[in-house]
Amino acid sequence: MRKLIFCILISLPIPLKGQILDFSLSIGTGKTYIIEDWYNNVNVNYGLPLSLMTELKYSPLNSNWGIKLRLHNLQSTCIGENWVDGNQLDGYVSSLTTSLLLEKVTYKNTFSFGFNFGIGWTRETIQPLQSIPSEKDISNYPTLIIGEHLTWKLNDNFDLQLLPALLLQDPFKSIGYLTGKRNANFAGEDLSFSFNIGIRYHLVK
At residue 187, the pLDDT reads 58
Burial (CB count within 10 angstroms: exposed 0-12, middle 13-18, buried 19+), residue 125: middle
Helix (H) or strand (E) holding 38: helix 34-38
Q: pTM of the prediction?
A: 0.83
Tally of CA atoms within 13 A in the half-sphere of 176 that contains its CB: 11
Pick the CATH number of 18-204 from 2.40.160.20, 3.40.50.360, 1.10.10.60, 2.40.50.140: 2.40.160.20
Which residues touch 46 (CB under 8 Å, ≥6 apart)? 31, 32, 33, 36, 37, 76, 77, 78, 93
Q: How would you write the pLDDT of the chain (205 residues) with one tens digit per residue?
A: 455 455 544 444 445 556 889 999 999 999 998 887 776 567 788 899 999 999 999 999 888 999 999 999 999 998 887 766 667 888 899 999 999 999 999 988 899 999 999 999 999 998 888 877 777 889 999 999 999 999 999 999 999 999 999 999 988 776 655 555 555 565 567 889 999 999 999 998 7
Could you tell me what percentage of the chain is helix, strand and coil, using 3-state DSSP and rounding each to the nearest 5? Answer: 10, 60, 25
Give the helix ranges, DSSP H, for 69-180.
Answer: 171-178
Kindly list the domain boundaries of the chain, sorted by start residue. Answer: 18-204
At residue 7, the pLDDT reads 54
Position 107, amino acid: Y
